Amino acid sequence: MVLLMLALGASGADREAFRCQFHQAYLKGDMSQWLQWAEEIESAHPNDREWILLALQARYGLIGYYFGTEQDDQVKPVLNEANDHLDDLLKRYPGDARLLSLQGAFQAFKIGLAKYKAPFLGPKVEASVQQALKLDPNEPMAWLEAGNSLYNRPALFGGDKLQAIEAYKKSLALFEQGDETCNYLKVLVQVFIMKGYFETGQRELYQRTRQQLENEYGKLPWLDDFLPATMLD
């Protein structure tokens, strides 16, 4: 099915079909084919911004999955390839807020692989995100990464989980304004909001958000993987 869709060309309908493929796999918690799909897209459409952006967003989600499932050894090759494609796009579209948001995300992933790089890469993450927001305050990916930066930084260095939740909510509202039928990033942001409520002790909002997720997408047994095990006991 994948090869058939790629053979159809580079239309928006074809991309939407692929987005839905990623989306459905994400809801099932099955990321096993994401890298293959991303590589097929990159091979079939190496110079098409929209297709490569779709592949980059898939690599973004896959890297997050690898970190979350303690498969850090899988991250580096996926991240290196993503950076190569991103660098190529940024040369052609240096003022693209979505690409700059991904640049910030990929720099943050590098910190995840080597914490000692945080003093050097941390300011670069923040610079990329802030540049994206300045270029387009309505870019949902920029608000997502602003939230991630606030959520994951120590309070001593400006981290604030409550402010992060607000950034995630802004990201979600903007994703919801989009015309894409399938967007796993929207689900991801909803999960981050749920996690934020949980970890800041806002249990009623956590329960409400979790219920909304399951009402919209069905039972998602992997949701607990986003929550600290000690808090589930």
pLDDT digits (tens, 9 = 90+) for 209-218: 999 999 999 9
Percentage of the chain exceeding pLDDT 70:
92
**pLDDT of res. 180:** 82
Q: Architecture of 15-185 per CATH?
A: Alpha Horseshoe (1.25)
Enter the pTM of the model. Answer: 0.92
**pLDDT of res. 4:** 41
Q: Which two tokens stand for residue 56?
A: 């980059």
- What would the mean pLDDT of 37-65 be, rounded to a whole number? 96
- What would the mean pLDDT of 194-216 be, rounded to a whole number? 96
**More confident site: 225 or 185:** 185
Average pLDDT, the chain: 92
